[in-house]
Amino acid sequence: MGDLQNDVVIVTGASRGLGRAMVERASDEGARVVLTARDEERMDEVATDLPGESLVAPADVRDAAAVERVVDRTIEEFGRVDTLVNNAGVSLLGMYDGRTSLEEISEDDWDTVLEVNLKGVFLFTRAVLPHMYEQEQGNVINISSGLGRHAIAGAGPYVSSKWGLEGLTQTIALEGEDRGVNANALDPGGRVDTDIWAHLPDEEREEILDPDVMNDAAVLLAAQGPDGVSGESMPAEEWEQRLG
């Protein structure tokens, strides 16, 4: 029996990278999983190999109606939603093969990063909260970054989006406090070998973390009951020490 037996877990950005790793692990732990991202074909491939029940529900996290449909389909299929992992995210690194300073960033690129990384989290969280409040139980896990706690030059939109996400996490925690909902931020604790770093040379990609780095911490967070730790943010390893 896994730790998440029969729980319903939605993972955004489940088509690849860290999201794919977390959805596979949640399924191994006995959860019924909902995979969402834009690339339906890739999610179908991931879902085929999962040991348990799953639902592939494509959506762009920036599209409120599409996000609502994912949650509606989840409720129709599984009747509840225990955990939402807000993992979908973009960085300009992939778009420009490196860092970009503010004077070079277009308004469109700013909007894309903020809308995917921050507005998308708002839209998905808004859609699941009524169900979690009704159940008087739920976990919202927001995938942040070390750049949610400090800044670097050349990643302005990403840094801003993740700092915003940290604040939003605390708001969700405060509003959910007496209604059984925990909200926390989780980050890998360093660079992870996913498509975000596709522009790096192979030797460098081999040195960075593997995409399963947050799996243990995500399971511990998802397994928390209504009175769990809430409103906190830390890297995977620290969560493992705190909750393990």
User: Contacts with ligand NAP: how many residues (CB under 6 A)?
Assistant: 27
Catalytic annotation, pick one of 158, 159, 214, 220: 158
* Residue 17 makes contact with ligand NAP by CB under 6 A: yes
Element (H, E) at 9: strand 8-12
Query: Dmax of the chain from CA atoms?
Result: 53
| Residues 19-48 within binding reach of ligand NAP (CB under 6 A) | 19, 37-39
* Residue 90 makes contact with ligand NAP by CB under 6 A: yes
* Residue 15 makes contact with ligand NAP by CB under 6 A: yes
Structure tokens at 114: 């903020």
* 201, 213 contact by CB (below 8 A): no
* Residue 191 makes contact with ligand NAP by CB under 6 A: yes
Question: CB 72: neighbour CB atoms within 10 A?
Answer: 12
* Residue 97 makes contact with ligand NAP by CB under 6 A: no
* Residue 71 makes contact with ligand NAP by CB under 6 A: no
* Residue 194 makes contact with ligand NAP by CB under 6 A: yes
Q: Which is nearer to ligand NAP, 78 or 124 (CB)?
A: 124
DSSP label at residue 118: I
* Residue 235 makes contact with ligand NAP by CB under 6 A: no
The runs of H, that is alpha helices, within 11-139 are 17-28, 40-48, 64-78, 92-96, 107-114, 120-135
* Residue 195 makes contact with ligand NAP by CB under 6 A: yes
**Residue 133 falls in the annotated catalytic set:** no
* 233, 169 contact by CB (below 8 A): yes
Distance CA(135)–CA(3), nearest Å, equals 19
Angle at alpha carbon of residue 17, lines to 116 and 86, rounded to 5°: 40
Q: Which is nearer to ligand NAP, 90 or 132 (CB)?
A: 90
Residues that bind ligand NAP (CB under 6 A): 12-13, 15-19, 37-39, 60-62, 87-90, 116, 143, 145, 187-188, 191-192, 194-196
